[in-house]
Amino acid sequence: MVEREAGTGPYYRMVKPAADTARTARRLALEPPMHATLFENPWVPVVVLVALGAVLRTAGRRASRPRLVAASWAAYAAAVGLVGLAAAVNTDREQIAAHTKAMLVSAEAAASGGAANARARPFATFFTPQVVVQGPGGAVWDTTHAAGLTNKLRQHRVRGTSLRRVDIAPVPGNADAATTQMRVASRVGEGYPAPTTWEVGWLRTADGWRINRLRWLELRDQPPRPALYY
């Protein structure tokens, strides 16, 4: 199920582009909209099943109809089963949301020389062998790899990274690619946290979802200059 938090924590929102529904349903690992309802946010059908069970149970007892009571237990069982199924199934959108959060933890650890967080995975495991870095207009600023990105994090002394929001959308016509737009607050050196916005390209590989593109969209709500990256 998709994690949703209010307040200062991260907020995950699943975004469907304005393309036709039939084509969109074939993208992002062929997950139709029903999958999002059942596996990512099943609470509406769960509530419906519980309410149906309550109605059937009440009606069955008042009318002395054992079949209605038995049907109520079936509805309750279906609700419990749906919650268990949603917990067991990890959709592509959920994987990308989790990878995004874990990647930022690893980025902070990489920037500090790997001593920051014992939970952090190796930073390189989130990226393809080659990563394209773009400016806000889409111009290529750099073609690098995880080690190069680690050097940039250390060069700019990035500290205290926190995820504010991530939007996830499929790439039209490609079920093995997705795009996220994340809002991040990062402290550079000893300064105050600076909000940045990034577009992140994800590619499905044999080892799972990996980042192959980073596009820096905003710094403090303004387009960043190339000099800020270099």
Per-residue pLDDT of the chain (230 residues; tens, 9 = 90+): 444 433 444 443 444 433 333 333 333 443 555 666 676 778 888 899 899 989 998 998 898 888 998 999 999 999 898 888 877 777 888 888 889 988 888 888 887 765 555 567 888 899 999 999 999 999 999 999 999 998 888 887 776 677 777 788 878 788 889 999 888 887 766 667 788 899 999 999 999 999 999 999 998 889 999 888 88
Q: Domain containing 20: what range?
A: 11-31+91-229
Give me the pLDDT at residue 17, please: 38
Q: How many distinct structural domains can be found in the chain? A: 2
Please state whether beta strands 208-219 and 127-134 pair in parallel, antiparallel, or not at all (unpaired): parallel
Give me the pLDDT at residue 139, please: 94
Q: Using the 3D structure, point to which of 88, 112, 127 is the last residue of a domain.
A: 88
Q: Using the 3D structure, point to which of 50, 66, 88 is the last residue of a domain.
A: 88
Give me the pLDDT at residue 211, please: 95
**CB neighbours of residue 64 within 10 Å:** 8
- 135 and 167 assigned to the same domain: yes
- 218 and 170 assigned to the same domain: yes
Give me the pLDDT at residue 18, please: 36
Is residue 3 assigned to a domain? no
Q: Cα(123)–Cα(143) distance, rounded to whole angstroms? A: 17
Which phi-psi region, left, alpha or beta, contains residue 45 (left: φ > 0; alpha: ψ -120 to 50)? alpha
Tell me which DSSP letter residue 27 carries: H
- 114 and 165 assigned to the same domain: yes
* Spatial CA neighbour of 152 closest among 111, 193, 101: 111
